[in-house]
Amino acid sequence: MKVLMPNWKGRWVPRASGWKLRAAGGALAGLAAGSLGQLRAQSFFNPYAAPLPAYGSTLNSGEGAGDNFLINRGVPYSPVGAAPMHDYNMKFGPVTASVGGSVSTSYYDNYNLVPEGSGLKQEDELSINPSLAIAFQWPIARDSTLHFDVGFGYAVFLNHPEFDRFTISPASAWDYQFKVGDVRLTVVDHIGTTGDSFSQRTDLTGTGSASAVQFRRLSNTIGLTAAWQPTRLYTVSSSYALDFDHGLGDSFGLADHLTHTFSTAVFRRLDSHWTVGLSASAFRNQYLEGIQNNSIGYGAGPTVTWQPSAYLNFSGSVRYNTAKADSNGTIGDRNGSSGAGYDFSVQHVINRHLNQALSVSSGIDLGVGVNFNNAFTINYRLGWQISKAMTLSFNASRAAISQSGAGYDFVVITPDEGVIQDSLGYILFNSAGGTTRLPTGTIVTPNRLLLIPRALEQTEAYTFGLGTGFQLTKRLNASVNYIHTLRLSNLPLHDYNQNTYTLSLGYRF
């Protein structure tokens, strides 16, 4: 979901939170921001999103109800992308640009996400994250504009230097918008690294292991959207997106995949306050290692927005979703998922100092070790501009997730360990001579990852965040943030608590 943070000039602008739940489809921000909200990295988590009516830049847009996974982004990139013209601070002929840098340090009190009372040691960690962000805007012609945004940085971990890494902001993208007759076409490419060594993704963590799970991914989504307004009241839009998701030096090659997504929608503006529409979409997902099952899915339903005033906006969509899995993989889950999904949100500007937003969603997402996750999420955000130079924000979220079938605990085989197979299955041994008989149904991947079968899991994840921002000078800003995460599970040793404290400094050149 989006939060309001101070921009370089101390004004309130929508920015994407670094610990947010990304869009699960068709909520208010997508309606307001543009027709490419679904064409961003890892769009396969959002197979039922539909293109929405509006023109203009769509970077950092389309993020409404949440995508049901808690993934820490790791690096708080400078706020670039889709900036107003007056926020660009450099000019090269017709090209305007914005350049900013930041450095942050984060402390984690439970880096390896183990439960209290489990007998496993909770490890703390301190990371330092310098980053640089650049945004370009080039009006090539009257109806053609090229946007290019990129953020990159490096993460250093003091206690675990083996996890040091180069990162690319998940918001990095370029898009080219142009018109052919009355049709507005947009070609877009989103690229970024996601996840980190302490990923809070519910189907990967809290497994009772003392080792931190590395789920670092490189995601690239390229797509084309066409939007047509035959009359002032109607908008018709369609899109195609190809998403490629690949692991970065981790053991989770089983999650590498290609996803094709097709979407179409028709919207009608009833009056200055109401817009209604119908949308439909389909996806085809193919895994590259053949461990996860390939899948297809379809979704369709109505959507509506109501803006009774300039300070209050409601939106909602209801759709029927169905997702089916092939039987080509080696994981045990052969189940599909279907049923009603929905997204509802409200954004309210209380006064010139206070604003709030609430979103609720339910839907189907792809899993790891299982075919699908069924998730219900609720998010609340409150923003308070205390003064021209100081802001305060509060976020709270809950995600209830159930899996489509029995899943797995993930254990990485260390360099001093190996696996042998006999007539009864697999045996894990180490160089010291110890051996462990692995349970029947254990899967050993080519990337030295053990998938140890367990029962179907149902989890609840709660996240609470409090942050404050300071405009120290015209070019220098700072922020202090606190995040508490609580995970509850029906399986033993799968619960955990984590507190994260972050201090950031940003500079606009």
In-domain check, residue 268: yes
In-domain check, residue 327: yes
pLDDT tier at 65, thresholds 50, 70, 90: very low
Residue showing tokens 């880096």:
111
pLDDT tier at 122, thresholds 50, 70, 90: confident
In-domain check, residue 203: yes
Residue 397 is predicted with a pLDDT of: 94
SS3 29: helix
Task: Please give the angle made by the CA atoms of 435, 251 and 247, to the nearest 5 degrees.
Answer: 175
User: How, if at all, do strands 372-387 and 354-366 pair?
Assistant: antiparallel
Digit-coded pLDDT (tens) for 339-377: 888 999 999 999 999 999 999 999 888 888 999 988 899
SS3 253: helix
In-domain check, residue 438: no
Residue 43 is predicted with a pLDDT of: 30
pLDDT tier at 28, thresholds 50, 70, 90: very low
In-domain check, residue 441: no
In-domain check, residue 360: yes
Average pLDDT, the chain: 78
Containing structural domain, residue 87: 2-413+448-508
Cβ proximity of 10 and 471 under 8 Å: yes
Provide the CATH number for the domain around residue 157: 2.40.160
Count up the domains in the chain and report the number: 1
* Mean pLDDT on 288-308: 93
Digit-coded pLDDT (tens) for 436-461: 899 999 999 888 888 999 999 899 99
Position 37 pLDDT exceeds 50: no
In-domain check, residue 431: no
Residue showing tokens 């601070």:
89
Residue 149 CA neighbour count, 13 Å, CB half: 24
CA atoms of 48 and 374, how far apart (whole Å): 13
SS (H, E, C) 44-89: HHCCCCCCCCCCCCCCCCCCCCCCCCCCCCCCCCCCCCCCCHHHCC
pTM of the complete model: 0.79
Position 253 pLDDT exceeds 70: yes
Cβ proximity of 402 and 458 under 8 Å: yes
Digit-coded pLDDT (tens) for 157-213: 998 888 888 888 877 888 898 899 989 999 999 898 876 544 556 666 665 555 666
Digit-coded pLDDT (tens) for 408-427: 888 888 888 889 888 888 99
Percent of the chain with pLDDT over 70: 79
CA atoms of 80 and 147, how far apart (whole Å): 11
Position 59 pLDDT exceeds 60: no
Other C-beta atoms closer than 10 Å to the C-beta of 184 total 21
Q: Which regions of 350-457 does DSSP assign to beta strands (E)?
A: 354-366, 372-387, 390-403, 408-412, 417-422, 425-430, 435-437, 443-444, 449-453
